[in-house]
């Protein structure tokens, strides 16, 4: 078995945000496996085969990539953002654990990419300057009650929270509920960032107040990352320019105090 598999993060969109190591891995691959729109971002190359698939078949896609590698192919599984953040790296290892024992002999590497939350943070200032976390609001792979329990815990702990997969046609109400939970723990002037398709031609970025965010929930989609500031997150207004948002590195009060008395 002389094949190999590398899981590559394409970053959020801009070609300049693709790391040199990720670019080299793509160029060396005989086969590219991934979600169709991600594969479309990679220029066609003679002698290289693309294997596209739909969005909700991650395990089948991973199994196909492992099968190709076991046949001696040099396979690159491409993923948006970073492959280890709600993306294809975990799917590959799930398929590996449950699949053909011979796959364990394959050399598997991961080339990281810039995540949506890092790209959004860079556009706005330094909102991730203090402690932060990431939560997926999708209930395709976990019960909604688990998502809300985790969200409640980190709201009480006063993290900056990055919400991935915030809303879809099948679940248009979940982001509104999550923002309603946040409003009970955060001051009304807490910055909330709606960052959509950062690094792509249809990029949009809005910085709202906590008391404005729920009304804007319907404008989000699966390409949107929603970032909820901590109680310490601050906004620096600029005349003639977008505000800067940052979270101080230091913490001066207990998170328990920040989560009490919010209405």
Q: How many CB atoms lie within 10 A of CB 149?
A: 10
Helix axes 174-183, 144-157, angle to 10 degrees: 30
In this prediction, residues 23-45 reach a mean pLDDT of 95
Q: Is the pLDDT of residue 261 over 50?
A: no
Length of the chain: 263
In this prediction, residues 11-31 reach a mean pLDDT of 93
- 49-77 pLDDT, tens per residue? 999 998 889 999 999 999 999 999 999 99
Bridge partner residues of 160 (DSSP): 132
- 93-113 pLDDT, tens per residue? 999 999 999 999 999 999 999
Locate the domains of the chain by residue range.
4-114, 117-258
Helix axes 58-70, 88-98, angle to 10 degrees: 60
pLDDT at 259: 52
- 131-172 pLDDT, tens per residue? 999 999 999 899 999 999 999 999 999 999 999 999 888 888
pLDDT at 14: 80
Angle at 230 between CA 251 and CA 179, to 5 degrees: 160
Determine contact, residues 203/119, Cβ cutoff 8 Å.
Answer: no
pTM, two decimals, is 0.91
The mean predicted confidence, pLDDT, of the chain is 93
Percent of the chain with pLDDT over 90: 83
Q: What are phi and psi of 117, to 5 degrees?
A: -70, -35
Determine contact, residues 254/156, Cβ cutoff 8 Å.
Answer: no
pLDDT at 257: 52
pLDDT at 260: 47
Q: Which residues contact 56 (CB under 8 A, 6 or more apart)?
A: 140
Q: How many CB atoms lie within 10 A of CB 115?
A: 24
Q: Is the pLDDT of residue 114 over 70?
A: yes
Q: Is the pLDDT of residue 263 over 80?
A: no
Q: What is d(CA 194, CA 178) in angstroms, rounded to the nearest whole number?
A: 14
Q: How far is CA 140 from CA 118, 123, 136, 137, in A?
A: 24, 30, 10, 9
- 213-240 pLDDT, tens per residue? 999 998 999 899 999 999 999 999 999 8
In this prediction, residues 159-188 reach a mean pLDDT of 94
Q: What is d(CA 175, CA 188) in angstroms, rounded to the nearest whole number?
A: 17
Q: Is the pLDDT of residue 36 over 90?
A: yes
pLDDT at 255: 63
- Work out the pLDDT band at 3, boundaries 50, 70, 90: very high
Bridge partner residues of 9 (DSSP): 79
Q: Does domain 117-258 have CATH number 3.40.140.10?
A: no
What is the torsion angle, in degrees rounded to the nearest 10, for the CA atoms of residue 234, residue 238, residue 241 and residue 243?
A: 0
- 31 SS3 class: strand
Which numeric CATH code is attached to 4-114?
Answer: 3.40.1010.10
């Amino acid at each position: 078995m002389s094949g190999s598999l590398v899981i590559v993060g394409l970053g959020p969109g801009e070609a300049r945000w693709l790391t040199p190591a990720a670019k080299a891995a793509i160029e060396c691959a005989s086969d590219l496996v991934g979600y169709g729109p991600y594969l479309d971002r990679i220029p066609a190359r003679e002698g290289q085969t693309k294997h596209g698939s739909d969005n909700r078949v991650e395990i089948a896609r991973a199994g196909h990539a492992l099968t190709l590698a076991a046949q001696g192919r040099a396979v690159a599984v491409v993923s948006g953002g970073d492959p280890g953040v709600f993306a294809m790296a975990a799917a590959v290892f799930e398929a590996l654990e449950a699949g053909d024992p011979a796959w364990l002999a394959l050399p598997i590497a991961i080339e990281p990419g810039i995540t949506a939350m890092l790209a959004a943070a860079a556009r706005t200032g330094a909102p991730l300057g203090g402690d932060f976390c990431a939560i997926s609001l999708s209930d395709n792979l976990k019960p909604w009650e688990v998502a809300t329990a985790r969200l409640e815990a980190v709201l009480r702990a006063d993290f900056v929270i990055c919400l991935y997969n915030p809303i879809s046609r099948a679940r248009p109400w979940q982001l509104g509920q999550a923002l309603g939970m946040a409003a009970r723990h955060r001051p009304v002037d807490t910055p909330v960032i709606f960052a959509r398709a950062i690094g792509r031609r249809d990029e949009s970025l809005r910085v709202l107040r906590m008391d404005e965010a729920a009304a804007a929930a319907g404008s989000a989609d699966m390409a949107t990352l929603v970032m909820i500031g901590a109680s310490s997150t601050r906004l620096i207004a600029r005349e003639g320019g977008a505000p800067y948002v940052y979270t101080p590195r230091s913490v001066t009060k207990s998170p328990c105090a920040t989560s009490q008395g919010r209405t």
